[in-house]
């Protein structure tokens, strides 16, 4: 089964970062999106979140981004570029 993957990065306002993060994870779960990774970092301005998501169709990930954008406390969402790893380079380094 082919999946589409996207990585998003956004900040959560400092008022209630854990509750806002829980709401964001509920959006992902309700859309039946595969959460591949989640990384959070505390900043003076709130919490920075990076998520990598996978779904069978790109439209589902677009819908997820729109729903996350509508949550109170989530600042603008940026899509991170996909990293391409060249296996021949990896083998040459090790």
pLDDT value for 41: 95
* Residue 39: HSE in the Cβ half-sphere, 13 Å Cα cutoff: 6
Q: What is the pLDDT along the chain (94 residues), one digit of tens a residue?
A: 688 999 999 999 999 999 999 999 999 999 999 999 999 999 988 999 999 999 999 999 999 999 999 999 999 999 998 765 455 544 555 5
pTM more than 0.85 = no
pLDDT value for 88: 52
State the sign of the Cα–Cα–Cα–Cα dihedral 61, 65, 66, 72. positive
The kind and range of the H/E element at 47 are strand 46-55
Q: How far apart are CA 74 and CA 68, in angstroms?
A: 7
């Amino acid at each position: 089964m082919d999946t589409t993957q996207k990585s998003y990065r956004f900040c959560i306002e400092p008022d209630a970062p854990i509750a806002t993060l829980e709401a964001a994870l509920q959006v992902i779960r309700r859309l039946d999106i595969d959460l591949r990774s989640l990384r959070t970092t505390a900043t003076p301005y709130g919490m920075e979140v990076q998520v990598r998501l996978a779904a069978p169709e790109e439209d589902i990930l677009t819908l997820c981004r729109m729903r996350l954008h509508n949550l109170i406390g989530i600042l603008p969402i940026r899509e991170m570029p996909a990293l391409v790893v060249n296996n021949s380079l990896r083998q040459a380094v090790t």
